[in-house]
Amino acid sequence: MTTFEIWSPDGRTHRTGTIDGTATVTERPAVEPGVLRYDVAADGPVTLRWTWPAETAVTLWRATQGSRRELPIDWGSHRDVRSVRSAPVAALVDAQDRSLSTISLSASVRGCDFAVGVNEETAEQLIELTVDDVEARRFTLRIDLRELHFAEALRGVTTEWTTELGDRIAPVPSVAREAMYSTWYSDHQHVSAESVERHARAGASYGCAAVIVDDGWQTDDTARGYAYCGDWEPTSRTFPDMASHVRRVHELGLRYVLWIAPPLIGVHSKAWDRLKDRILGFADGEVTAVLDPRYPEVREHLLESCIRPVRDWGADGLKIDFIDSWAWSSPPPAPDADCTSVDEGVELLLQAITTELRKLRPDVLIEFRQDYVNPRLWQFGTFLRAGDCAMDPVENRVRTIDSRLLAGDRAVHSDMLMWHPSASAENVAQQFIGAMFSTPQVSMELDAMSPEHERVVRYWLGFLRDHADVLLDGVLVPSRPDARYTQVRAVGAETVVAVFTNPVVRVADTDRSIVLVNSGASSRIIVEDAGPGPVDLVVSDCSGTEVHRGRTTPPEVWAIDVPIAGVARIQRV
């Protein structure tokens, strides 16, 4: 057993950590006070374990947490992290948004069990990390004890991952940060060339840069299952001439991104008989299996399936889905395979796919979906979409913010926006506000909307486009992760604040121009310290219609009437 020492920045708190397994641990000299780094050379699985006091913590921020914002008990906190699922990082956060301890492993880790939870015996946090798959048998443990805002602490983690991966990170084309149309909620598996072209035409008129054609193009079966997938050839009934169809979408000025789920193979596919002995197991009863990427013949089949849409049909990229189906920590034996772990096989496949696609299109678009947030996937994907949360603006807010905090400079997209045709204008606007710190994807019949909905959609797509520099590239400062982000601020050349359940906005001295978006339940926002001098105030409703304009000298605590889903712009004179 090897030990290592952990000290708080003030030297008052000390714990001794242990490492089980064959490993050599070397502590790096501190570059930043309060940030500890330990280089570990491992020969087989190793477990790192220590405790740390965090009595004021109110939540554990994790890479993939969904709606769970609790402080887990140590025996229930284990997460199986793979290169295709989640990421090796967690932060203990207090009610002032400070990270009491942010723990992460380097991007060389392909697989680990990552557990941070309350130890009932000591009332401290027990951290237990077991690394079982690592590139080059070396990784780094990083512990940040500086008590920074948790978003800044997480930026420190992603900066380290960025440095580690270097030029292996895939470039992000600018179009990946522009609004896109997705066919999933509007069409589901009933998609056709005709419907895609109709959506593309309407989407172009709203400023969408691409159309994402989701599941259904490869099958006549519309039962939502995957028993027929695996060949990845267009169905002749609804997509009779794929190349001509893609060309017509291009003529409308949009890029074309095609959905594909490489891990899945159905028993009714033509490839089944050839590959049925090269599976990890079944994923959907006895009709859909998960292919084993450790076999070269599997990777060759999937490589051809993934490059064909770009090479032969002219597509601009792929939405590569269900790769978390490959998150197998205990796969069956594979005696004829050419690599040891499933994660290694997945990365060999993704590297081959992206290498070939970039030869065809240097600006190829590759979409991954939450929970595919591991930094190892930065080598392959160009944008990351929030996990499915149809018609739920709160969950879209949480998922896009969670993704942004761990994405580095990856483009992050919302889950596809949808609403009921009879929804109020405010409800439609709330869908966009929930996604406003990400690139929006829309999935509605845009050419069949009411005039009221059309005004709202055009206004908010324009708002997100006009403020994209700060919304997407500014410094993101969300509040209260334990309460699913009560307020979110983005700071750049201007400041944009989205008010959710906390209506009190504190204006910083550096905020010369501030935009307030009211996504709360009340038509009143409380602004502190907007003065002392005069300011110009412009207020608009959810469709962009101006309802107030004037100049005033605000009091120290200033109540502003802002319609629900409306916007207030404050400019210091």
Residues 145 and 44 reside in one and the same domain: yes
* Residues 230-255: tens digit of each pLDDT: 999 999 999 999 999 999 999 999 99
Residue 254 · residue 211 · CB < 8 Å: yes
Question: Residue 284 pLDDT more than 90?
Answer: no
Conformation bin of residue 132: beta by default, left when phi > 0, alpha when psi is -120 to 50: alpha
Kindly state whether residue 458 falls inside one of the protein's structural domains: no
* Same domain assignment for residues 95 and 207: no
Closest CA to 344 of 294, 378, 281: 294
| Same domain membership, residue 199 and residue 78 | no
pLDDT above 90: residue 67: no
| Beta strands per DSSP E along 417-494 | 441-442, 475-479, 487-491
The reported pLDDT for the residue numbered 224 is 66
Whether 447 is in a domain gets the answer no
Write down the pLDDT at residue 223: 67
**Does residue 432 form part of some domain?**
no
Q: Is the pLDDT of residue 372 over 80?
A: yes
Are 312 and 243 contacting, i.e. CB atoms less than 8 angstroms apart?
yes
Q: Please give the structure tokens belonging to residue 506.
A: 């504190």
Query: Quick check: 263 pLDDT over 70?
Result: yes
Q: Last residue of some domain: 331, 354, 385?
A: 385
Q: Return d(Cα 500, Cα 430) in angstroms, integer.
A: 10
**Residue 127 and residue 195 in one domain:** no
Strand partners for 422: none
Residue-wise pLDDT for 191-230, tens only, equals 999 999 999 999 999 999 999 999 999 988 776 679 999 9
State the DSSP code for 417. Answer: B
Strands 535-540 and 546-552: antiparallel
Question: Is residue 452, in this structure, part of any structural domain at all?
Answer: no
d(CA 515, CA 497): 6
Are residue 280 and residue 201 in the same domain, yes or no? yes
Task: Give the model confidence (pLDDT) of 459-484 as tens digits.
Answer: 999 999 999 999 999 999 999 999 99
**Domain interval for residue 292:** 174-385
Mean pLDDT of 501-508: 97
pLDDT at 65 (0 to 100): 79
Classify residue 406: in a domain, yes or no. Answer: no
For the chain, the average pLDDT equals: 96
Q: If you search the block for the tokens 């947030």, which residue do you land on?
A: 373
Residues 114 and 185 reside in one and the same domain:
no
Q: Kindly state whether residues 111 and 191 are assigned to the same domain.
A: no
Which domain-ending residue is among 385, 415, 444? 385
Tell me, yes or no, whether 362 and 486 share the same domain: no
pLDDT score at 344? 96
pLDDT, residue 66, reads 73
| Cα radius of gyration (the chain) | 25
Q: Which amino acid is at 66?
A: G
Q: Is 452 helix (H, G, I), strand (E, B) or coil?
A: helix
State the average pLDDT over residues 270-292.
95
Backbone angles phi, psi at 236, to 5 degrees: -70, -20
β strands within 13-67, DSSP E: 14-20, 23-27, 35-42, 46-52, 57-62
Q: Which residues pair with 15 in a beta bridge?
A: 6
Residue 343 and residue 60: Cα distance in Å, rounded? 27
User: Of 536, 533, 537, whose CA–CA distance to 556 is shortest?
Assistant: 533
The residue behind tokens 């899945």 is 264
The two tokens of residue 292 are 């084993």
Claim to verify: residue 51 and residue 89 sit in the same structural domain: yes
Please name the helix (run of DSSP H) or strand (run of DSSP E) that holds residue 307, with its range, or none.
helix 296-311
pTM for the model: 0.97
pLDDT by residue (tens digit) across 126-167? 999 999 999 999 999 999 999 999 999 999 999 999 999 999
- Region 104-128: what's the mean pLDDT? 97
CA distance 307 to 358: 10
Element (H, E) at 82: strand 79-82
> What's the average model confidence in pLDDT over 318-335?
94
- Residue at a domain's end among 106, 129, 164: 164
Burial class (CB in 10 A: 0-12, 13-18, 19+), 273: exposed
Per-residue model confidence (pLDDT) at position 356: 98
> Is residue 415, in this structure, part of any structural domain at all?
no
Residue 425 domain-assigned (yes or no): no
What pLDDT sits at residue 264?
97
**Separation of alpha carbons 56 and 279, rounded Å:** 47
Judge whether 380 and 225 are in contact, CB under 8 Å.
Answer: no
pLDDT in tens, 6-61: 999 999 999 999 999 999 999 999 889 999 999 999 999 999 999 999 999 999 99
248 — alpha (psi -120 to 50), left (phi > 0) or beta?
Answer: alpha
Domain count, the chain: 3
Tokens standing for 412? 């992050």
Instruction: Please report how many Cα atoms fall inside a 13 Å half-sphere around the Cα of residue 204, on the Cβ side.
Output: 14
Do 153 and 180 lie in one domain? The reply is no
CA distances, 245 to each of 181, 242, 309, 381 (Å): 16, 5, 12, 25
